[in-house]
Structure 1
Amino acid sequence: MERPELPLAQLHAFVVLAEELHFGRAATHLGIAQPPLSQQIRRLETKVGHALFSREPGRVTLTSAGRELLPAARQALTGLADGLAAAREAGSGRAGRLRIGFAASLALTVLPGLLRTFRERFPAVRLDIQEMTTTPQLAALRERTIDIGLLREPPAHDTDLAFETVLTEPFVAVLPTTHPLAAQRVVRVEQLADSPFVLLPRAVGPPLYDRITSLCTGAGFTPRVTQHAVEWQTVCALVETGLGVSLAPASIRRIRLKGVAFRRIAPDTARTRVAAAWREKDPSPLIPHLLAALDHDPSDGPRG
């Protein structure tokens, strides 16, 4: 049997009358005349199929059907009020869910401070954090499985996505401590020409891979990549074993491995760019708040 739909206006009128037990006072509370109130109650009683109030001269009381309906009616109205409040909060960016993709190396720089600041400002927002490299982040944004990405070396042009620079940082040479160049404080890129390289696969982040290899070609050689690893932690672990050297963002220095040395490179003008990325159309209302938290995060590196 199909359940009758109960209009919220009728439920509201019913609850007010059940609390006042007086048609005149209930009509005044609702801001309507008494006849329209009586019509609302009669329509509701028709839908229920039973009288909800016992009407006697000078006295109004709830029937057994009315007493049964009252808790459910109150719950329905409270649920609606809560839902409207939650919708307003979500629409204003004060509540809801924000799905964030991030490059693993950002856990060593901006991410901890960013999340701490954002959660302090917006405790009602649920954060879903997913670690992923640049290419999967771009795909996830287009597929709407994340709302914002924090990625390295964003594409120069993209008609669907917007980008804002979060930070820039220099590159460092990653060497086994047994490597002859580890004794130097600064390593010139061309000095790495004869060493095998350990790098992230190009497929997981083409712009960053190309940025690193361009540092080498600019120094007069093509890097001989003999090992790949998807995460920088693994790159450093492979370097520690002596399988090769690498060039990496400077934040990688926070990965502590006894057998790995990090050295500044010369020339030191090359920098890697980290950007926030989100869909240009229909962005989450929470994104401006996350960007504001980035602006005020003291752990940020320099922008631009």
Structure 2
Amino acid sequence: MVKGVDLDLAHVRAFVLAAQELHFGRAAAALSISQQGLSKRIARLESQLGTELFRRSGQGVQLTEVGRRFLGPARQTLAAADQALAAVREEHRPLRVDVWGHLYAPMRALAQVATRTGELSLELGHGRDLPSVAAALLHGDIDAGFGRVHPPLPTGLTHRLVRLEPVDVVLGEGHPLAAEPALRPEQLRDSVLWTPGALDRLDFLRRFAEQFGIRDHAEGPNLGLDHFLAAMLSDARRFSLLPADVPLPRLPGARSVPLVNPTPLYAWSLLWRDTGGHPLLRDLLTAFMTEAGRNRWLEYDPAHDWLPEPHATT
């Protein structure tokens, strides 16, 4: 049916974007063309292949079975084309890396790696949340991103664990537990978890609360660490969690206490498209693995540490 067909990459790219968005208008906007222009490209591709790739209805568009089978190879085709174009350029563009993070900013780890290498050409971005980072990766807007990966990972992406960060509890000197040299997570069950946004959008904090029986929480906007901690200090029962190596702002009454038995670990992964990508991506991964070994970033002992998903270490 499709022997001898030379696929037009513009048509294939239109199909992939429409398949990811399941919305012709958004896909057309991403390509900076009209919706009519996008529809024509997909119609021509379907004509070449001799089959429908989308099922259109009043409720929108859905992939046909053939469309679902075609999507993976279509992505690979575009990735190969992008690599071919990069190979003939005299200079590679910078590796576009998203460093999204709420209070657990991966910028610290990336800065440490970049300082060691001194040779990686990086262009940084700041996503809104992990789903937006995943969408940017799939659209080709960025080459790599950071996030705490928890199933299911979007189709078309892969990841590598690069850092496990021990987490401390942060509270005010008026908190009943403020004088303790160390705390077990379960000792916080009668306190109020203060979060930078809605708890149902912060998977790590939500699972921490569920695991250790913390019933009460309150939330405020994420306007930076100083503002966040100042609001936490306004209620003596509040506490939050921060990576152990984050220096606290100079706020009177704020203190950090280690969590033990178990110590919560925040798992950062580097994400990228499973079809490969930018030639500097391998260098970045190698640099992270070197730094992880030097600083023991990937140590995990289930007898003493807590991860929401133990398989995240594999």
**TM-score for the superposition, normalised by structure 2:** 0.57
**Matched residue, 1:295:** 289
Q: Which residue of 2 aligns with 1:144?
A: 140
| Cα separation, 1, equivalents of 2:88 and 2:105 | 29
Q: Which residue in the other structure is 2:266 paired with? A: 272
- Could you say which residue in structure 1 is the equivalent of 2:158? 162
Is contact 1:154–1:274 with CA below 8 Å preserved after alignment? Answer: no
Shift in Å, 1:244: 5.5
Query: Hey, what does 1:110 align to over in structure 2?
Result: 109
Secondary structure of the structure 2 residue equivalent to 1:296:
helix
Shift of 1:158: 3.1
1:110 aligned counterpart, secondary structure: helix
The match for 1:214 is: 207
Distance 1:269 1:299, change over 3 A: closer
The verdict on how the C-alpha distance between 1:96 and 1:112 changes in structure 2, with shifts beyond 3 A counting, is same
Alignment partner of 2:220 out of 222, 228, 233: 228
> Post-superposition, which runs of at least 4 consecutive aligned residues in structure 1 deviate over 6 A?
none
* Amino acid corresponding to residue 211 of structure 1 in structure 2: F
Aligned length: 209
Asked if 2 retains the 8 angstrom alpha-carbon contact of 1:169 and 1:250, the reply is yes
State how far apart, in whole Å, the 1-side matches of 2:111 and 2:214 are. Answer: 37
Out of 125, 132, 146, the residue aligned to residue 130 of structure 1 is: 125
Cα distance, 1:269 vs structure 2: 4.2
Q: 1:283 aligns with which of 277, 295, 306?
A: 277
The structure carrying a bigger helix percent of its residues is 1
Provide closer, same or farther for how the CA distance between residues 269 and 196 of structure 1 changes in structure 2, counting only shifts above 3 A: closer
AA aligned to 2:96 is R
How many Å apart are 1:170 and its aligned residue? Answer: 2.4
Residues 76-100 of structure 1, C-alpha deviation per residue, up to 9 Å, x if partnerless?
Answer: xxxxxxxxxx954869xx8322111
Gaps of 5+ in 2: 1-84, 300-312
Matches within 5 A, 1:83-94: 88=87
The change in CA–CA distance for 1:173 and 1:162 in structure 2 (over 3 A counts) is same
User: Which protein shows a greater Rg?
Assistant: 1
Whole-Å Cα distance in 1 between the matches of residues 239 and 142 of structure 2? 31
2:119 corresponds to 1:121: yes
CA RMSD in angstroms comes to: 3.0
Deviations 1:103-162 (A, max 9, x none): 3433563121122234x234xx3x211233423222221222211002224444332111
Q: Residues 210, 278 of structure 1: CA spacing in aligned structure 2 closer, same or farther, 3 A cutoff?
A: same
Unaligned runs of 5+ in 1: 1-85
One-letter code aligned to 1:214:
R
Which whole-Å CA distance do the structure 2 matches of 1:156 and 1:170 have between them? Answer: 24
Cα displacement (A) at 1:285: 1.7
Matched, 1:238 2:231: yes
Structure 1 pair 87–270 and aligned structure 2 pair: CA distance change class (3 A): closer
Q: TM-score, normalised by structure 1?
A: 0.59
Q: Which has the higher contact order (CA 8 A, sep 6+)?
A: 1
Of 96, 112, 119 in structure 1, the residue corresponding to residue 93 of structure 2 is 96
Partners of 1:136 and 1:246 lie apart in 2 by 28
